[in-house]
Amino acid sequence: MRVPSSVSSSGGLLDVVLTLEPAWVVINSMELGIFTLNGTLPGPTLRIKAGDRLRVLFRNLLPAQPNARRQHNEFGYVDESNLHFHGLHVPGDLPSDDTKLVVGPGGEFQYETVLPQYHMPGTNWIHPHRHGSSALQVGGAAALALIVDDPPGSLPDEVKWDKRLNFNTPACLLAFGVLIGIAQRSGDSLVWSAPAGNPPDLLVINGEHMPEIAATPGRWQRWRVIFAGWRNVGRSALNFAVDGCTMQLLAKDGMYISDFPRSIQLAPIPAGGRADIMVKCPSPSSRYRVTSGETLIGFVDTSAIPVSSSELSSWSPVLPDYMQDLQATPASEGCSCETEVEEASINGVPFSEDTVLHETFLGAVVERKIDTGGHPYHQHFYPFQLVDGFRSSDFFHLGDWHDTFMSDGLTREPVTVRYKTTFIAGEMMLHCHRLDHEDRGSMAFETISPTGSTCSCSARALDTGNIVIIAVAVSAAVCVVISVLGFCVWRRRSHRRSDVGPE
């Protein structure tokens, strides 16, 4: 199997340029126009350490598409983009991970953020997140692995990183038929193409269809599986399995579980989710099937000479402050709210940059009763702990942490989760990771006040400068009101946006 190139931080800094650009690739004998980060599928793997500074100069190399649709909560904006650091515990405002940023065609933006010293090491990823075009661009395969490396000596020998034994495996779903429909609705006339007729959906691993993964029989390998996905596989998660081989779960969504090793038969990874799995195949000179449900997606081919097997010893991670156990800690007063994920709205409200879904404050224990309704729920920068609403399975235990979660029939609804707002305040996005739903409005944000002490569960319009200015200007001439309001809207948007493309 092909392994993406990788770039590691040094001296406390990872400084990279990432370009969003169209590319032509041949997959399964089909020539396809796709989106890429830095021209390859997947983009290069980025490796960073807790405490490091991450600088990403993002360049949108997509050409302008004058016929692109530009209507809020609809597919469109196909030539605009941005980046999301999916899984990082970093602020959600600029120059960090603010997905409201818009980088126009030919434009660029310098992202810069610092991972906290206590950041959980793990498997994360980067993908575009422009509201309206995220399905087309992520579905078109723009993605790369973002690994937060383990401190030296922190892992058992069988688990620790070793280039010979480890794979980063971003699995991208190329759903041609659906994407063609989205491209047409978006007014995209440039990038996406696919075979005529009734094209099949393909799962590609590290850019390859049905790759062959080499393994030594009896030796544990650590697989970092990223479902760099934008929708379900059929009607479910990526149900990742290696038939005939032993799988022990190590981490989910870039966070180590506390009861490693946990034997699993299947890793049901929702779109956007990740699973780190220890895999061991028993027999020499054998071929094993890598599957998602009934679908064959690759092979493991073992070499002729086995090595002696050993059992994995139990191991627990040091948990960072934002992952302290909250199973026995009740929510702060008024901070338990319901969140219902719908196809084009959250709690019945389509996405608006001016509507707050819920409000919390720094230091709160926040509880959410989430009705996912079969949608993969994703929350930015604060992962959440599963505390109730379960039939536990081998993959899902009470007390586990996720940043992307879909019940997939394994749990009751609603699922109760908790998280504590430790140090990062501001606006936190949450959304359906079926990105065709997100683009049409299945997204919202909560605000975390740095100074407040109360929560609110009621959606409300954000207090904006516009309203204040209108009130101040109400006694003046109407034309003044209109011009000031226009100025405020312009100011507000220019504060959030970076439309720095050519005139």
Taking CB under 5 A as the criterion, the residue among 131, 252, 368, 434 binding Cu ion is: 434
Q: Of 245 and 432, which CB lies nearer to Cu ion in the complex structure?
A: 432
Nearer to Cu ion, 44 or 350 (CB): 350
As measured in angstroms, the least distance from the Cβ of 227 to Cu ion is: 15
Q: d(Cα 118, Cα 255) in Å, to the nearest integer?
A: 12
**Sequence-ordered list of residues with C-beta below 8 angstroms from that of 453, at least 6 positions apart, any chain:** 361
Segment interacting with Cu ion (CB under 5 A) among 133-141, 173-181, 299-307, 433-441: 433-441
Closest CB 499 distance from Cu ion, rounded Å:
29
User: Counting Cβ atoms within 10 Å, is residue 260 exposed (0-12), middle (13-18) or buried (19+)?
Assistant: buried
Of 437, 440, 441, 448, which lies in the binding site for Cu ion, with binding defined by CB under 5 A? 437
Q: Which is nearer to Cu ion, 276 or 403 (CB)?
A: 403
Least separation in angstroms between residue 406's CB and Cu ion is 9
- Give the three-state DSSP class for 492: helix
Q: State the minimum distance, in angstroms, from the CB of residue 432 to Cu ion.
A: 3
Using a 10 angstrom Cβ sphere, with 0-12 exposed, 13-18 middle and 19 or more buried, the burial of residue 286 is middle
- The residue among 219 and 434 lying less far from Cu ion, judged by its C-beta, is 434
DSSP annotation of 318 reads: P
Among 432, 443, 448, 455, binds Cu ion (CB under 5 A): 432
Written as six digits, the tokens of 305 are 């000479």
Nearest to 301 by CA among 215, 205, 211: 215
Cis peptide before 95 (omega within 30 of 0): yes
Q: In what order do the strands lie in the sheet with 13-27?
A: 30-37, 13-27, 53-60, 108-114
**Closer CB to Cu ion, 280 or 375, in the complex:** 375
Residue 49 makes contact with Cu ion by CB under 5 A? no
Exposure class string for 105-125: b at 16+ Cβ within 10 A, else e: bbbbbebebbbbebbbbbbbb
CB of 182 to Cu ion, least distance (A): 14
**Tokens 């193409």 label which residue?**
193
Nearer to Cu ion, 40 or 352 (CB): 352
Q: By rule CB under 5 A, what count of residues binds Cu ion? A: 4
Part in contact with Cu ion (CB under 5 A); list of ranges 70-78, 111-119, 157-165, 369-377 = 369-377
According to CB under 5 A, which one of 119, 262, 368, 375 is a site residue for Cu ion?
375
Binding-site ranges for Cu ion (CB under 5 A):
375, 432, 434, 437
